[in-house]
Structure 1
Amino acid sequence: MAIVEQRAWVRSSQAAAFEASQDYAKRRDWDPFSRRLETLPAEDGQRITRVTAWHGASMDVAFVAWFPPERAAIRMVSRSRLLAVFAGSWAFLPKGDGMIEVRFRYQVTPHAYCAWLAPLMLVYFRWETRRRLAALKRYLETGG
């Protein structure tokens, strides 16, 4: 298991940042990773979303925490050829003077048969996480 975490200080309100991250229409305006976000019929009362990345891979995730405007957390519920476990949380923490700390944190565990790919997966997830966080910061600070 590996943890990938990136943080940034952003000039924004907690509510605006949470809304930009969780309102899928707004997210299309800033998120370079997500090509498509589709809400699926709920299973056992869980909110399930299919996330399709810019490169075409997709996964279904269920929300396991929902605490507007502070944080949301998900876990993968679909099968993946590469990942045994994928989970993540996005937190929006007030810091005063109109600033918040935005923290993207992911748990990534490859299947045992492809564990040799773990170092490359971490490089990819770190890059993607930095890119997404920078894009959200730009969006919020330029009046997105």
Structure 2
Amino acid sequence: MPVVRAQVTAEVPPEVAFVVSQTTGALRLSWDPFIRRQHFLDGAERPAKGVRTLTRSRHGLRMVSEYVSYAPPSHVGMKMVSGPWFFEMFAGGWRFAPAPGGRGTVATWTYSFRCRPRLLRPVMNTVGTWLLGRDIRRRLAAFAAACDDERICAVAVGQGAA
């Protein structure tokens, strides 16, 4: 199963990095280049284990995902419940750890996936690894820039995204 992983150091503490990563609405759309629209499902108002979200990507793809772990300020895990036909399975995890020397946060984002149909899987997994790798690096760069933006951090912390 392919795994795509990227890492960045953000110049904020893990608690702030975590809440920025979990922002929603207009604040999330202001920094995340991947998401076009996103909202909680089933009446949920905040992220938590078991909460489902509907996300529409900038590519126009739609995915319903569910939080399988939610442990501020260290990690978040999600799995696809339903999504694009070519994903048999998709999951993502975000980890936040103090940077060496205690300055900032090392944010590691990981996606794992399996494509279908089985006959085309080797080619589709290769293409998927390339595309998802490009997207995850862009998202992480935007996330680090958001962590450098005092306004975004202040709003995220004020909203209590975590």
How far apart, CA to CA, are the structure 1 residues paired with 2:104 and 2:78? 25
Equivalent in the alignment of 1:92: 96
How high is the TM-score relative to the length of structure 1? 0.92
Within a 5 Å distance, the mapping from 1:4-43 to structure 2 comes to 4-25=4-25, 26-41=27-42
In terms of fraction of residues, the more helix-rich structure is 2
How far apart are residue 77 of structure 1 and its match?
0.5
Number of residue pairs the alignment of both structures matches:
143
Distance 1:97 1:46, change over 3 A: closer
Deviations 1:17-47 (A, max 9, x none): 11111121332121000001111117xx820
Q: Report the AA paired with residue 12 of structure 1.
A: V
How far apart are residue 79 of structure 1 and its match?
4.5
Deviations 1:2-26 (A, max 9, x none): 0000011110111111111112133
Kept in 2, the 8 Å contact 1:82–1:114? The answer is: no
Gaps of 5+ in 2: 44-48, 153-162
95-104 vs 133-142, which moves further: 95-104
How far apart, CA to CA, are the structure 2 residues paired with 1:46 and 1:114? 32
How far apart, CA to CA, are the structure 1 residues paired with 2:119 and 2:139? 29
Q: Report the AA paired with residue 17 of structure 1.
A: A
Q: Quote the RMSD (CA, aligned, Å).
A: 1.7
Q: Report the AA paired with residue 71 of structure 1.
A: H
Within a 5 Å distance, the mapping from 1:1-144 to structure 2 comes to 1-25=1-25, 26-41=27-42, 46-95=50-99, 96-111=101-116, 112-115=118-121, 116-143=123-150, 144=152
In terms of fraction of residues, the more strand-rich structure is 1
Deviations 1:43-82 (A, max 9, x none): xx82000111011101000000000111110000014310
Tell me which stretches of 4 or more aligned residues in structure 1 moved more than 3 Å: none
Percent pairwise identity: 27
Kept in 1, the 8 Å contact 2:37–2:55? The answer is: yes
